[in-house]
Amino acid sequence: MKNKLKIVFASIGIIAVSACTTTGNGETHKKGKVEFLIEESFKPLFETSIDTFEGQFPKASIEASYLAEGEIIEKFYTGKYKAICISRELTKKEIADLKKKQIEVRSDKIAVEGVALIVNPANQDSLITVDELKRILTGKDTVWPQLKTKINVVFDQENSANFYYLKELCNLKKLPVNVFAVNGNEEVINYVKKNKSALGIIGVNWISDADDFDALAFLDGITVMSVSVDGKKDYYKPYAGYLYSQDYALSREIWMINYGSKSGLHAGFVNFMVGEKGQLIVSKSALVPAKAPVRLIQLQEE
- What's the rounded Cα separation, in Å, for the pair 153 and 167? 13
Helices (H), 92-160: 92-100, 130-137
Using pLDDT thresholds of 50, 70 and 90, give the confidence band for residue 176.
confident
The per-residue pLDDT for 281 is: 95
Angle of helix 92-100 relative to helix 69-77, nearest 10 degrees, comes to: 30
Q: What is the pLDDT of residues 190-234, one digit of tens each?
A: 999 999 999 999 999 999 876 776 776 778 899 999 999 998 889
Is 80 exceeded by the pLDDT of residue 56? yes
1 versus 282: the higher-pLDDT residue is 282
Question: Parallel, antiparallel, or unpaired: how do β-strands 106-119 and 288-289 relate?
Answer: antiparallel
pTM value > 0.85:
yes
Read off the pLDDT of residues 98-120 as tens digits, 9 standing for 90 and up: 999 888 999 999 999 999 999 99
Q: Average model confidence (pLDDT) for the chain?
A: 88
Domains defined along the chain, listed by start? 13-112+254-301 (3.40.190.10), 113-245 (3.40.190.10)
The Cα-based distances of 266 to 42, 101, 271, 272, 273 in angstroms read 18, 20, 9, 10, 11
Residue whose C-alpha is closest to residue 206's, from 217, 193, 221: 217
Contact between 164 and 147 (Cβ < 8 Å): no
